[in-house]
Amino acid sequence: MGDTLAIGRNRTEDWMDSTMPNVCWFEECNKDSVALVGGKCSSLGELINAGVRVPPGFALTTHGYAQFMREAGIQPEVTGLLTGLDHEDMDKLEEASHAIRAMIESRPISIELEDLIAESYRKLSIRCGVPAVPVAVRSSATAEDLPGASFAGQQDTYLWIRGIDDVMHHVRRCISSLYTGRAIAYRMKMGFPHEQVAISVGIQKMANSFSAGVMFTIHPTNGDRSVIVIDSNYGFGESVVSGEVTPDHFVVNKVALDIIERTISKKEICYTVDLKAQKSVATEIPFERQSVQSIIDDEVTELAWMGKQIEKHYGRPMDIEWAIDKDLPAGGNVFILQARPETIWSNKQQTPVSTGCASAMDYILSSLLTGKKLS
């Protein structure tokens, strides 16, 4: 199927191309597949093809999304509800959002499309060796992380979904999240036409995380490119991403991979799975573990090494989500869940620490102070 993906196309209109597949595996995608599977899923495919350890999965493509919307027959109503809205009038935006999302979530997915998703989910379960494998159902929009704008994080992700009926329900919810009030307002503010944004939905094996968190290959506070910064907590990464806890904090030298700064916080809650409900739930961390380091030093080093390779592959600082799967042995249990370009410091004009170098020694000193690689 990989040859049919037309890798290399990146025009927004490609998601309307009738020759595109409705479903494809992550490894069949790469960074040029944004028009087909959105920013998140194309990034996962790029990582897999670069040799990075990523939980397996597949995507309902933007062509599958277009087929669903066409068969639902609601596009004229959606356009009508969005016409004349003011991006600052959140009450009206939320009212329109509620109506649009209810329409989308009430429409059935065609038997043809449902069969494709169900068969891919069955194959994923076999591949993982787990019946009805628990998955994350993740929105992946075509407008994520565009230059000058970041649409990432405006659509929904649902964790620990199990069984095809639940998967289908959450696929519809992900599609409808293209029309959250916040997403509508941001597109209007940025002058980005609603009809030029499509969505893909990724269905990815859920990592049963002992610990998880985020990693930046640039210091998010001061823009220092010579370090990698890792934040971690027990359980799933929700508590770190949402800011519900103060995570453990590690700063790693990017060259030697030495931990040069470590802050172990008191972590009172984490997110783990409720085995009966198969849901992600907030859980109180036992008192004796609250101030214990949530990942060991070897894992910090491995994560930093992976972050360094990802940055090298993309050629720019990256914002990365990761997890350590407690069901797998050490040495093969550190996974990258998502990687996207860091958009704050990377887009700032760098100011040299020293200017007007009068000698070779001045140039070397200036280069070292700014973290520039000397050739």
Give dist(CA 350, CA 368) in Å, integer. Answer: 14
> Which of residues 345 and 206 earns the better pLDDT score?
206
The beta-strand segments (E) located in the chain are: 23-25, 57-60, 135-141, 157-161, 199-205, 209-216, 227-234, 248-253, 259-263, 269-274, 279-284, 318-325, 334-341
Percent of the chain with pLDDT over 90: 67
Split at pLDDT 50, 70, 90, the class of 371 is: low
6 pLDDT above the threshold of 90? no
Q: Average pLDDT of 284-312?
A: 97
Q: Average pLDDT of 194-219?
A: 92
The CATH number given to whatever domain includes residue 317 is 3.30.470.20
11 pLDDT above the threshold of 50? no
Of 205, 238, 266, the one marking the end of a domain is 205
Residue 357 is assigned to a structural domain of this protein: no
- Split into its structural domains, the chain has a count of 2
Most confident of 4-13, 138-147, 223-232, 350-359: 223-232
Residue 350 is assigned to a structural domain of this protein: no
Secondary structure of residue 165 in the 3-state scheme: helix
Q: Average pLDDT of 254-281?
A: 91
Same domain membership, residue 196 and residue 213: no
The mean pLDDT value of the chain amounts to: 86
Q: Which of 266, 270, 272, 269 is nearest to 290 (CA)?
A: 266
The pLDDT of residue 45:
96
52 pLDDT above the threshold of 90? yes
The pLDDT of residue 362:
57
Q: Average pLDDT of 190-210?
A: 89
Of 205, 222, 237, the one marking the end of a domain is 205
Split at pLDDT 50, 70, 90, the class of 292 is: very high
The pLDDT of residue 369:
54
**Where are the alpha helices (H) located in 143-273, listed in sequence order?**
164-176, 181-189, 238-241
* pTM attached to this predicted model: 0.79
Same domain membership, residue 169 and residue 73: yes
Same domain membership, residue 245 and residue 148: no
Q: Is 262 exposed, middle or buried (0-12, 13-18, 19+ CB in 10 A)?
A: middle
Same domain membership, residue 58 and residue 191: yes
Split at pLDDT 50, 70, 90, the class of 239 is: very high
pLDDT tens-digit series, residues 133-146? 999 999 998 865 44
Same domain membership, residue 271 and residue 188: no
152 pLDDT above the threshold of 90? no
Q: Average pLDDT of 13-39?
A: 84
Same domain membership, residue 232 and residue 132: no
85 pLDDT above the threshold of 70? yes
Q: Do 353 and 368 contact (CB within 8 A), yes or no?
A: no
Of 184, 205, 226, the one marking the end of a domain is 205
Most confident of 1-10, 12-21, 128-137, 348-357: 128-137
Residue 362 is assigned to a structural domain of this protein: no
150 pLDDT above the threshold of 90? no
Give dist(CA 44, CA 58) in Å, integer. Answer: 10
Same domain membership, residue 312 and residue 177: no
Percent of the chain with pLDDT over 70: 84
Q: Do 188 and 87 contact (CB within 8 A), yes or no?
A: yes
Q: 120: domain range? A: 2-205
Same domain membership, residue 314 and residue 265: yes
